[in-house]
């Protein structure tokens, strides 16, 4: 099995189990423990996993609070969404990326592409994309720092967003329904998403199916402002019909 394929399988297992031992990985993949340990070291150096005594777990770069909990929820689906989304962007494009558990997985895949310009309020996403030798240019938006999810927020961030123009805004959201559109549970995150939308030619939303037909407190944008949604399953009937009517492209990650 080639290294990249093997390490992808290791990541998939860790995302499903959240915590796994070297011995178990070696058994599941029929590979020596020495090879597994080398792969875990490589993945840990890329911040894709965290090595622990005798095994590995999901990365804890975002702290131990609510965001870390969201990182573990639907991890396999979010990783698939991130993988599918990264294929949609190409060299020479400028992307806004906001902070979210799904954009975390997206950034890992996006780092493999070269020649991108990334503008983000997430310190982790900025570091992930900038750490590869792929000639990507990264701008980290400055503002009040939130340690729970390693992001900057506030008026300074939204003001700086207006200094950029991007081909795409790539966003995560807290909820989506046919009546309101995209919503978030945090007012500052909603304001940042709205500012990114205003400065972009197109809007891509990354979301898993747990967000369908949910209600959150703060509106991000109507369905008509979304160009495409990458998700893990077809939305429920009423929402799906509304998305089609709004000319939103729906891409199902496999």
SS (H, E, C) the chain: CCHHHHHHHHHHHHHHHCEEEHHHHHHHHCCCHHHHHHHHHHHHHCCCCEEECCEEECCCCCCCCHHHHHHHCCHHHHHHHHHHHHCCCCCCCEEEECCCHHHHHHHHHHCCCCCCEEEECEHHHHHHHHCCCCCCEEEECCCEEECCCCEEECHHHHHHHCCCCEEEEEEECCEEECCCEEEECCHHHHHHHHHHHHCEEEEEEECCHHHECCCCCEEEECHHHCCEEEECCCCCHHHHHHHHHCCCEEEECC
Tens of pLDDT along the chain (254 residues)?
A: 778 788 888 888 887 777 899 999 999 888 999 999 999 998 888 777 888 889 998 775 444 345 555 555 667 889 899 999 999 999 999 999 999 989 999 998 998 899 999 999 999 999 999 988 789 999 999 999 987 778 999 999 999 999 999 999 999 999 999 999 999 999 999 999 999 999 999 999 999 999 999 999 999 999 999 999 999 999 999 999 999 999 999 999 98
Query: Tell me, what's the pLDDT at 50?
Result: 84
CB–CB of 60/50 below 8 Å? Answer: yes
Residue spans of the domains in the chain: they are 3-57, 67-252
CATH topology of domain 3-57: Arc Repressor Mutant, subunit A (1.10.10)
Class of domain 67-252: alpha beta
């Amino acid at each position: 099995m080639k290294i990249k394929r093997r390490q992808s399988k290791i990541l998939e297992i860790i995302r499903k189990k959240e915590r796994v031992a070297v011995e178990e990985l070696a058994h599941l993949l029929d590979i020596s423990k020495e090879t597994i340990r080398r792969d875990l070291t490589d993945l840990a150096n890329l911040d894709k996993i965290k090595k622990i005594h005798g095994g590995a777990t999901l990365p804890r770069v975002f702290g131990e609070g609510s965001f870390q909990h969201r990182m573990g929820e639907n991890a396999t689906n979010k990783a698939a969404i991130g993988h599918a989304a990264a294929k949609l962007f190409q060299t020479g494009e400028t992307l806004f990326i906001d902070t979210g558990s799904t954009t975390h997985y997206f950034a890992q895949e996006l780092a493999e592409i070269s020649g991108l310009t990334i503008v983000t309020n997430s310190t982790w996403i900025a570091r992930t994309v900038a750490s590869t030798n792929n000639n990507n240019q990264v701008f980290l938006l400055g503002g009040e720092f939130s340690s729970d999810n390693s992001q900057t927020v506030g008026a300074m961030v939204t003001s700086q967003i207006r200094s950029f123009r991007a081909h795409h805004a790539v966003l995560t959201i807290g909820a989506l329904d046919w009546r309101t559109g995209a919503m978030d549970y945090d007012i500052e995150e909603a304001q940042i998403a709205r500012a990114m939308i205003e400065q972009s030619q197109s809007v891509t939303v990354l979301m898993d199916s747990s967000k369908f037909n949910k209600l959150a407190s703060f509106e991000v944008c109507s369905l008509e402002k979304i160009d495409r949604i990458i998700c893990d399953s077809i939305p429920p009937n009423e929402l799906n019909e509304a998305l089609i009517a709004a000319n939103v492209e729906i891409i199902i990650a496999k």
